[in-house]
Amino acid sequence: MDRIRIVGGAKLDGRIPISGAKNAALPLMIASLLSPETLTLDNVPRLADVVLLNRILGNHGVEVSVAGKRADQDEFTGDTVRLTAAEIVDTTAPYDLVSRMRASFWVIGPLLARMGEAKVSLPGGCAIGTRPVDFFLTGLKGLGATIDIEGGYALAKAPAGGLVGGRVSFPKVSVGATHVMLMAASLARGETVIENAAREPEIVDLADCLNKMGAKIEGAGTSTVHIQGVPALHAARHSVLPDRIETGTYAIAVAMTGGDLLLEGARRDLLGAAFDVLEQAGATVTETNEGVRVARNGAGISPVTVTTEPFPGFPTDLQAQLMALATKAKGESQITETIFENRFMHVAELARFGADIQIDGHTATVTGVDQLKGAPVMATDLRASVSLVIAGLAAEGETIVNRVYHLDRGFERLEAKLSRCGATIERLTG
């Protein structure tokens, strides 16, 4: 099993190209099920989750092809992927595939809308929380679907004539449920109104793509979204937006180590409150024509007080990385997690570096230390794993991060991007 070896202490200087967002690419790929015509996606990241979703979509009959690189493209340029669901050959998403990636449950929306039925395995638990699918199912019922749970599967059927527009109000913001409802409602008869919709940039990206395919969606990015259903969707081409979590991760890394990084292609507006927090911690953030420049030279790291919130608040997907940064702050930071109940599992591993972190319910109090010491550590999930890399970059001596398959799910060639900016980091195979 692969591991990552880091020798800490080097500043990060240079340029890091930001890949396409995994959290946008996955729902965009699933949207290909809505049309028999080809959906072409540019800037698709090369990640384990993308490869797995290609397999899952292939199970339903989607033909997937990846275009070769042009001579003028560098090694970090995202892929162009063409997805054609000319014929849906199977409306069942089996447990052995859905259990490996929760986002694959989202196929229930487009399958139900286009084919009138879907049998999708319930995804089960997850390391950082249960993430129930109740909102998904309630929303689809609001469009006229009947849903039964049998043998660990959601059996969904649309009424005769297909789904019908309706008003759906989520009791709590859910990104996944909003994605599913956007896709399902695009082919429903009449108008659908989604209230308390998620506002994340990835929601806007999906709506933009669906509109290119012929959907009629207004209000994406606000808490109330209107969808006027259409009879069919057609071919389109769309570029995946830059990954805001990768952007924030590398920004936190340079704030942690010192140095000066240009995050190529990054957009400040996608990060909501995250860049504001980084500036409070002592980093300098500057928008440029090429992306976002982040620097910290000389001054120490200031403590912060942060609560994770849905967009545009501070994202839960950067909470672990920020906690790593806080371990070196000059004072006491408080980080409160409100989105997922088990998202402090990285605390025990950060303590192996010598971090001083105390947990009280959903709040972590982090007292900065003068120096972290390299250590062997174990990743527990995607975001926790990269927090250990960030700590290792600033720690004295050698760090070995185990279970890096978590990293490969969400960060494209992380060690290559960091090493070109001065980090001593390498992948150990076997």
User: Does 102 appear as a known binding residue?
Assistant: yes
User: Does 22 appear as a known binding residue?
Assistant: yes
Q: Which residues pair with 261 in a beta bridge?
A: 14, 294
| Cβ contacts of 357 within 8 Å, gap of 6 or more | 323, 327, 347, 350, 351, 364, 365, 366, 367
User: What's the DSSP call for residue 411?
Assistant: -
Q: Chain centroid to CA 210: how far?
A: 19
Residue type at 351?
A
User: Does 121 appear as a known binding residue?
Assistant: no
User: Does 216 appear as a known binding residue?
Assistant: no
CA distances from 378 to 277, 349, 351, 386, 413 (A): 27, 7, 12, 11, 19
- Distance of alpha carbon 339 from alpha carbon 293, whole angstroms: 29
Tokens of 52: 């797995």
User: Does 173 appear as a known binding residue?
Assistant: yes
Rounded to 5°, the CA angle 31-91-209 comes to: 5
User: Does 330 appear as a known binding residue?
Assistant: no
Q: Chain centroid to CA 42: how far?
A: 17
Residue 126 annotated to the active site: yes
Contact 89, 65 (CB under 8 A): no
User: Does 240 appear as a known binding residue?
Assistant: no
Q: Is the dihedral of CA 202, 347, 352, 404 positive or negative?
A: negative
- Distance of alpha carbon 21 from alpha carbon 201, whole angstroms: 10
- Distance of alpha carbon 247 from alpha carbon 267, whole angstroms: 8
| Cβ contacts of 15 within 8 Å, gap of 6 or more | 261, 262, 263, 264, 421
CA distances from 394 to 89, 186, 205, 278, 371 (A): 51, 48, 35, 17, 8
User: Does 175 appear as a known binding residue?
Assistant: yes
3-state class (DSSP) for residue 413 = coil
Catalytic residue among 86, 89, 126, 359: 126
Residues composing the chain: 430
User: Does 245 appear as a known binding residue?
Assistant: no
Annotated binding site for phosphoenolpyruvate: 22-23
As annotated, the binding site includes 22-23, 102, 172-175, 317, 339
Binding residues for UDP-N-acetyl-alpha-D-glucosamine: 102, 172-175, 317, 339
Catalytically active residues are 126
